[in-house]
Amino acid sequence: MIRVRFVKGILWFLVGLAAAVTIFRFLKGLGTVTALTDTTPWGLWIGFDVLGGVALAAGGFVIAATVYIFHLKKYEPILRPAVLTACLGYAAVVGGLMFDIGIPWNIWRPMFFWQEHSALFEVAWCVMLYFTVLQLEFLPVILEKFKHPLSQTAYKILKFFTLPLVILGIMLSTLHQSSLGTLFLIMPHRLHPLWYSPIIPLHFFVSAIGLGLTMVITESLVSSWIYKKHLEKDLLSGLAKAAAIVLWAYAAIKVADLAATGKLHYLFAGTWESNLFLFELLISAILPAALFSSAKARQSTGGLAAGAGLAVFGFVLNRIAVSGLATISATQTDYFPSWTEFAISIGIVSAAGLAFFFLVENFYVYDEPRAEKRDKYEIVSPDPVGGIRLHWSSLADARLYSLLFVVALALGIALMPNIVTGVTPERIEVEKARRVDAFRSKSDASPLYLYALYNPDEHDNPEAGEVAEMLLIDGDRNNKFVLFDHGTHEKNNGGPESCGMCHHMNKPLDKATSCYECHTDMFLTTDTFQHEYHREKLKEQGGCVKCHKDPAEPKTRETATACGECHKNMRVPNSFVKVEEADQTGIAPGYMNVMHKLCIECHKQKQEEKVELAPDLARCAACHQGLDESMLMVVEPYPQPQSMSLLTQR
Amino acid sequence: MEQWLEWARGPLFKFAFAVMVLGLFRHLLLAVAGTVQALLRAGDTKIPYKVVFRTTLDWLFPVKKMNVNRPVYSVISVIFHVGLILTPIFLLPHIQLWERGLSIRWPAIPHVLADMLTLITIAATVALLIGRLGHIYARGISRIQDILLPPLLMVPFITGFLAMHPAWNPVDYNAVMLIHVLSANLIFILIPFTKLGHIILLPATQLVSEVGWHFPAESGDDVAVALKKENMPI
């Protein structure tokens, strides 16, 4: 039983890791734990968890059809495990969807708001209905164990409806497996031609049958290895024989489809996509089909494992390719899943695995429950912390698994970046304003000046306006800028003496300190006080004791010497810079807030003073004028540093 | 050095703290489950729960027990616990770290008091260690962790004191800080796996031993008779 414990231990660890990611996925949103973008909205979770998961669950309807419809009764021993695998597979799909849907609590909407034209609508309904049918198909296994009359009655009712349920299940999964392919019919421009096909629903359906057969083989192999139980090899080789036929058919359909639509030349184009497609076709269909065509390989455990393993891996790769890899050439965006996406995908599969073990050990999924028989009178081990001998036998495993789960959960939390676990969002560094040549003109419609970046070809008419030196203010360098007529503002506010109206004057002998030096982040508040800078500057003058005067006190902001003691007269009278005296040691607001506040308040005041002259002065467009696409083209590339003389350093 | 420090008080701290919290929670659940199992197994309905509850509370605040056996040792132990719990939680720089990371804060103790508590805790730890190793019976029942844990608990207090008093600090500030953070992280991780687990397990284990204490004498034999398993190894 050490094998079971080892496998379960690993699964619990993986579930713990996923649990950590789960916390932040639902607390902080999709963006914090995925590498998805607007151009790549479907990533690993859709490719592997949903498309892959649904395909992997195809074994349920395949074996149910074999036993109940084709009356091949010898396959009955693997019917229950196949239905269980399918049921857990769909549970995993639903679980995965909960992570991937941006607003998961809206999942009930397709039931009441019908969009008959949407392929996703059909997918949603089929998933819901088939998942329900699968649960009803499996429920008798659980009900038969309980002796309660109610449970027995329910068992009899479900048993009576077995055949209708099986038929319903086959119909729904036929619809559903193919309609997942239908989704991609609406994106021919997105999917690479090798994968896109008008009959892609058929590809999906046929491959699902092949994958269902190989998945049942895989599941039997894994289960018999873990529990060291007898392998029903003759049954599995029968399945492998059927799989060979289906896989050959799948490969033939694929190639014939390419030939019919004139896409065969893509196959050997030597591109990344063509290689991927060939690799995928080889390992998902051709190799396993060839292997399963040989009776000798079908009879050996190694042959079964190799063929089924290749097919399962190949078809999962196929679903991931369709939903993601094959769209890269069209969207031109790189996407590689973040570790958190892998953690969730693997964690969901692990949780399904643990559920499988639990049901197999406690119910008659196989011919008998596979749980370990415990000695009722074994000597109990002492509790490691308390030293007390409690009766631990049924909790002995819980101790191991919960330890692994807890350590993995802690590891997951620790691996999350600070931005996710903490409260501080990402910083957007602000950079200084640049001096550029701009063209200033007057329009008849407005008393305000019109500004544009100077372009010798366009602005050659001296009568239309004049060329002047201005500041290009684009703090976060996102190409959205304001041309600031510094000279005119200085002149209108009273000449060189007026710097202090808008600027702090922090440095000794300084006339104007640039905004970006303290308002260092575009949106977030930041420290006004730059500790490292001061420590470096004051090295010669005594270092720390210059501000932290009392060595007995802790060196905190509160106990430090006030800024005003060194920086005197930081603001002139009547300054537009509004600062609380205490704030000088505290927090500086974000750059954009400060710029807006400083400009808008003054503009509002002037607008009221000179209503007839500048009625629109306080509006956004007074500063943000004409910043259309063509303007953005002009500023790229940015002026080189040597060509910029910085106004702020005057 | 600074990158190591960032790592130690970033991801490593988060891991250690999470292991402590989750590990203790796990212990609590398992202890409760184990107690319930033990009770079900004993099938005894005559457990005086009121007495059990009261004695458990008594042990949580061991005022009455202090003068019994080794009064000095008991008093030092209580002082040690007070310093050990209060200082790290209510130290201003620690609170500021929580505020920076999670925007939560609570009142701090004055700096002078924190200094005094730190020195008292260090002294109490030394005294406890002497009391344990110097007493022949205490030494006899000591496990390795009983001897190794007190010195480990002293490390963050000594380094923390040095970090707050640069004039007394003979080595680099960052080095002292790194040892401070790393030793604290190690303690966090060890808590759920050593006797330090009594932080949360004390009420639970106390309850278990009290419950066990009140099982009827020779009840094991009765169980064996009921199961027709007399004279068989348990």
Query: In sequence order, what DSSP letters do the residues of A338-398 get, joined into one string?
Result: -HHHHHHHHHHHHHHHHHHHHHHHHS-SSSS--PPPPPTTPPPPPPTTT------GGGHHH
- The stretch A286-307 carries a mean pLDDT of 89
> Is pLDDT of A518 > 60?
yes
**What are the b/e assignments for B195-223, b being 16+ CB within 10 Å?**
bbbbebbebbbbbbbbbbeeeeeeeeeee
pLDDT digits (tens, 9 = 90+) for A565-619: 777 666 666 777 876 655 456 677 888 888 888 888 888 888 888 777 777 787 7
Q: Which residues of B touch A398 (CB under 8 A)?
A: 30, 33
Confirm if A216 and A59 have CB atoms less than 8 A apart: yes
Of A379, A391, A411, which has the smallest distance from its Cβ to B41's Cβ? A391
pLDDT digits (tens, 9 = 90+) for A170-183: 888 888 888 888 88
Supply φ then ψ for residue A429, to 5 degrees: -65, 140
CB contact under 8 A, A377 and B232: yes
User: What distance in Å separates the CA atoms of residue A113 and residue A121, rounded to the nearest whole number?
Assistant: 9
User: What distance in Å separates the CA atoms of residue A33 and residue A416, rounded to the nearest whole number?
Assistant: 9
CB atoms within 10 A of CB A433: 24
> Is pLDDT of A376 > 50?
yes
- pLDDT for the residue B119: 94
- pLDDT for the residue A626: 59
Q: In which domain, by residue range, is B4 found? A: 1-227
User: What does the block give as tokens for A521?
Assistant: 């982040």
Sign of CA dihedral A532, A534, A537, A538: negative
Of A402, A410, A414, which has the smallest distance from its Cβ to B30's Cβ? A402
Residue B79: inside a domain? yes
Reported pTM = 0.71
Helix (H, G, I), strand (E, B) or coil at A504: strand
Confirm if A143 and A157 have CB atoms less than 8 A apart: no
Q: What's the CA dihedral at B215, B217, B221, B227 to 10 degrees?
A: -30
- A640 pLDDT band, cuts 50/70/90, is very low
Q: How far is B168 from chain A (nearest CA, A)?
A: 11
Domain borders along chain A are 35-337, 434-528+570-634
Amino acid at A338: S
- A395 pLDDT band, cuts 50/70/90, is low
CB contact under 8 A, A386 and B30: no
Query: A223 vs B49, which has greater pLDDT?
Result: A223
> Is pLDDT of A267 > 80?
yes
CATH number, position B219 = 1.20.950.20
User: What does the block give as tokens for A306?
Assistant: 């190799």
Helix (H, G, I), strand (E, B) or coil at A417: coil
CB atoms within 10 A of CB A493: 14
- pLDDT for the residue A644: 36
- pLDDT for the residue A10: 94
Task: Specify the DSSP class assigned to residue B68.
Answer: S
Best residue in B26, B59, B145 for a mutation probing chain A (most A CBs within 10 Å): B26
Q: How far is A296 from chain B (nearest CA, A)?
A: 51
CB atoms within 10 A of CB A79: 20
Query: What residues does A451 pair with on adjacent strands?
Result: A440
| Owner of token pair 């419609």 | A445
- pLDDT for the residue A643: 35
CB contact under 8 A, B26 and A415: no
CA angle B5, B81, B170 (to 5 degrees): 40
Q: Report the DSSP pairing between strands A587-588 and A526-527.
A: antiparallel
Best residue in B15, B161, B215 for a mutation probing chain A (most A CBs within 10 Å): B15
CB contact under 8 A, A409 and B22: yes
- pLDDT for the residue A646: 35
Beta carbon pairs, A and B, within 8 Å: 98
Q: What share of chain A is helix, strand, coil (3-state, %, to 5)?
A: 60, 5, 35
> How many domains does the structure of chain B reveal?
1
Q: Percent of chain A scored above 90 by pLDDT?
A: 18
Q: Which residues contact B123 (CB under 8 A, 6 or more apart)?
A: none
Q: How far is A398 from chain B (nearest CA, A)?
A: 8
| Owner of token pair 């229950």 | A80
Q: How far is B226 from chain A (nearest CA, A)?
A: 14
* H or E stretch covering A488: helix A486-492
Tens place of pLDDT for every residue, chain B, 234 residues?
A: 777 888 888 889 999 999 999 999 988 888 778 777 767 766 655 667 787 778 777 777 766 666 667 788 888 888 899 999 999 999 988 988 888 777 788 998 998 999 999 999 999 999 999 988 988 888 888 888 888 999 999 999 999 999 888 777 788 888 899 999 999 999 999 998 888 888 877 777 667 666 666 665 566 676 777 777 777 665
Residue B233: inside a domain? no
- pLDDT for the residue B234: 54
* H or E stretch covering A435: strand A434-442
Amino acid at A231: L
Q: Which residues contact A14 (CB under 8 A, 6 or more apart)?
A: A343, A346, A347, A350, A408
HSE, side-chain direction, 13 A CA sphere, residue A106: 5
Helix (H, G, I), strand (E, B) or coil at A195: coil
Q: Is the peptide bond before A637 cis (omega within 30 degrees of 0)?
A: yes
Confirm if A351 and A15 have CB atoms less than 8 A apart: yes
Residue B234: inside a domain? no
- The stretch A52-69 carries a mean pLDDT of 87
Supply φ then ψ for residue A380, to 5 degrees: -80, 145
CB contact under 8 A, B19 and A407: yes
Q: Which residues contact B227 (CB under 8 A, 6 or more apart)?
A: none
Helix (H, G, I), strand (E, B) or coil at A587: strand
Q: Report the DSSP pairing between strands A482-484 and A587-588.
A: unpaired
* Maximum Cα interatomic distance, chain A, rounded to a whole number of Å: 106
Average pLDDT of every residue of chain A = 81
- pLDDT for the residue A22: 93
- pLDDT for the residue A642: 37
Q: Report the DSSP pairing between strands A434-442 and A449-453.
A: antiparallel
Helix (H, G, I), strand (E, B) or coil at A372: coil
pLDDT digits (tens, 9 = 90+) for A623-634: 877 554 444 444
Q: Percent of chain A scored above 70 by pLDDT?
A: 87
- pLDDT for the residue A635: 46
Helix (H, G, I), strand (E, B) or coil at A630: helix
User: What does the block give as tokens for B22?
Assistant: 């989750």
Rounded (10°) angle between helices B198-213 and B49-60: 140
- The stretch A540-551 carries a mean pLDDT of 78
Looking at domain A35-337, which CATH architecture does it have? Up-down Bundle (1.20)
